[in-house]
Amino acid sequence: MYLLRAIGRSVATTLFLLGLVLSPNAYLAIRALALAGQGAIADYRLKSIPPAQYEAAISTAMDRGDGDLARSLMALAKDQGIIVAPVLEQRLAALPAVNLGNVLQQGWSCVVNGDFDSEAGFACVLATDVTGIGDVRDLVGEGSNYVQGKSVNYFTLGIATVGLTLTAATVASLGGALPVRAGASFIKAMSKLGKLPPKLTGEIGLALARTVDTAALGEAMNLGRELRFGEMQAPLARLFKPKSLAMVSDLATDFGTIGSVGGVRAMKLSAEAADDARDVKALAKMSAKYKDRFLGVMTMLGHGALRLADVLLTLSGWALGALLWLIGFALFLTRTTGRTARFVARALRPRRRRQPRRALAVA
């Protein structure tokens, strides 16, 4: 019995000390999970990246003449308290603000291949959409498929509907709605290239498919063929139910937010990292937090800006440490309280007076 009690005391003391050491990390784990959508996961990962990796990424970006990425990475490194080699800062300062060769190359790539990696390449996509011609073409094309009973890309149809509405809003606001308009153009172009997450396009496309107003679609198509953009707003407002169309508008707004902070490449990296609309919204909030450093964040982390899979083991260790601390403390407290109670009970217990032994009667 004495041996079991000694072992119990040792285990309780060990668990108490172990949990005491690890329990502060449990708080960090809970905080990382609770604030995952606000960039807490990215914060955690960025702190674990060694300075040499930042310097290598900055150097590689400059070797490619990519001043935008190099500047974003430099700002991110300084924000993390990393001292970058002076030679890298000098090289970065010597880079031109605009690389004309890259601009022309990206523009030509968009015209020939339909793809884009920079604002210059994206300009040709946005130009056709701002005029409304690109969206009318998509609306009439997918609408004709719907009327004829053919396969319809409801995601493209929904984006074209939102895009035409945003075109009118952009003109009316003198360019105030341009970031959202750019977001809509981006997701439409990426969808055509097959570079949006299937889950994202699937969930939005399914919601749109269930709410098509056939009469409104036919009216919008007829007006679109005649390029009567101003008269299209009434049937476009009835084409889908507001809740379904809001999913597309929110997605365009989120990508527009990312683009206004980090440019086209930040939008593309975000599309690659996201699985669904919820991920895109989280990245939009993250971009608002990091601002000009966001492109660097996505370059360094990619999927890791959102994903917890490879951090779960660490989080589990923290949670286990907290659990051990609680168990150990409970055992420690129980034993200490029990001993104290027994000691007090003995101290307060009245002592019995010893009775004198009676003399043995002599027979």
Q: Is residue 112 part of a domain?
A: yes
With a pLDDT cut of 90, the percent of the chain lying above it is 45
pLDDT 10s digits, 315-342: 555 555 556 666 666 666 666 665 665 6
In a shared domain, residues 296 and 328: no
- pLDDT tens digits, residue range 234-280? 999 999 999 999 999 999 999 999 999 998 889 999 999 999 999 99
Co-location of 293 and 324 in the same domain:
no
Residue 93 domain flag: no
pLDDT of residue 9: 60
70, part of any domain: no
Percent of the chain topping pLDDT 70 = 66
Domain span at residue 8? 1-34+311-345
**Residue 193: pLDDT over 50:** yes
Q: What is the mean pLDDT of residues 69-86?
A: 94
pLDDT in tens, 94-111: 887 655 555 555 554 554
Q: Look at residue 168 in the predicted model and tell me its pLDDT.
A: 77
Based on the domain organization, do 106 and 29 belong to the same domain? no
Could you report the per-residue pLDDT of 159-185, keeping only the tens digit for each?
999 999 888 777 677 667 788 888 998
Confidence band of 363 (pLDDT split at 50, 70, 90): very low
Going by pLDDT thresholds of 50, 70 and 90, the confidence category of residue 31 is: low
115 pLDDT higher than 80: no
pLDDT for res 66: 86
86: pLDDT strictly greater than 60: yes
Q: Does residue 353 have a pLDDT over 90?
A: no
Whether residue 224 sits in one domain with residue 191: yes
Residue 153 Ramachandran class (φ > 0 left, ψ -120 to 50 alpha, else beta) = beta
User: Domains in the chain: how many in total?
Assistant: 2
Residue 164 and residue 248 in one domain: yes
Mean pLDDT (the chain) is 79
